[in-house]
Amino acid sequence: MIIRIFFLLFILVGLNLHAFGAELTPTEILQKADEARGNLEGVQWIVKIVSVENNDKQDRTLNVKSRGYDFFAAFTDPPKVKDQKILMVDHNMWFSKPGTKKPVPISSRQKLVGGAAYGDIAATNYANDYAPVPLPDETINEEICYVYMLKAISKKATYDQIKYWISKNRMVGVKSEFYTVSGKLFKSAQFEYDNKIQIGENPQPFISKMIIHDALIEANITTLDFAQNELVKLPDSTFDLNLFTNR
């Protein structure tokens, strides 16, 4: 009888240790969330941006091709920005427009339109660009979420600090708050995942919308709609700076 009890205790302890070992680290959780926001080995999508800022409405449409955190984007609409292009390789970003002989270096932090920065149209690389500080779990729209304060460890990260909510069930980011290096909140965002993408054997959630709210002016809202996402094989030439202005 005593032997049987010790045997059962041994099994229970082993199961508990296995369960504990199976828990994902904060970095692994961020990697899962990054995948749902485009950080894959080859994917393309169309993003349409509509911004209302100080009663001024603007829009942009871009075709984006991404491999990991590198991306190439071409503006297709409106006509005044058609054929303008953006390239990011290893956190370095360039801009080009028709008639430009040399690409112009820009920062992912620079304003694209409304509340959207250039870095917002790219895949996220939070797992590598930020050090996560775990905070107590919270519930967002009836979903229990991991909560992290992310502090930039790369000078080229789009934001200095991000408070990030990740759904425990779906492993996708559902809300962000963006802070300056001094800790001042300047905008927030909510995310939707009505798109799907085939990763492995089963389709996985993929970002469909990002809604950005200005922290100071409530009426200033920028919406990014992501559509026509699909996995693709992208050649190295897609991210070749020497071919950028001629593409």
Q: What is the CATH number of the domain that holds 124?
A: 2.50.20.10
Q: Quote the pLDDT of residue 17.
A: 33
To which H or E segment does residue 29 belong? Answer: helix 26-36
Q: Quote the pLDDT of residue 11.
A: 38
Asked if the structure places residue 234 within a domain, the reply is: yes
Contact indicator for 233, 42 with CB cutoff of 8 Å = yes
Whole-model pTM: value is: 0.88
Asked if the structure places residue 65 within a domain, the reply is: yes
Asked if the structure places residue 137 within a domain, the reply is: yes
Contact indicator for 89, 238 with CB cutoff of 8 Å = no
Asked if the structure places residue 176 within a domain, the reply is: yes
Asked if the structure places residue 73 within a domain, the reply is: yes
* Number of domains forming the structure of the chain: 1
Q: 25: which residues sit within 8 A by CB, 6+ positions away? A: none
Q: Quote the pLDDT of residue 57.
A: 96
Asked if the structure places residue 12 within a domain, the reply is: no
In the block, residue with structure tokens 């749902």: 36
Q: Quote the pLDDT of residue 224.
A: 98
Asked if the structure places residue 17 within a domain, the reply is: no
pLDDT tens, residue by residue, 130-189: 999 999 999 999 999 999 999 999 888 999 999 999 999 999 999 999 999 999 999 999
Mean pLDDT by 10 residues, the chain (247 residues): 42 38 86 96 97 95 97 97 96 94 94 96 95 98 97 94 98 98 97 93 94 97 97 96 87
In the block, residue with structure tokens 């190439």: 72
Alpha-carbon torsion angle 211, 234, 127, 205, nearest 10: 50
Determine whether 56 is exposed, middle or buried from the number of CB atoms within 10 Å of its CB (0-12, 13-18, 19+). exposed
Reduced to 3 states (helix: H, G, I; strand: E, B; else coil), residue 187 is strand
Asked if the structure places residue 191 within a domain, the reply is: yes
Domain range enclosing 216:
26-244
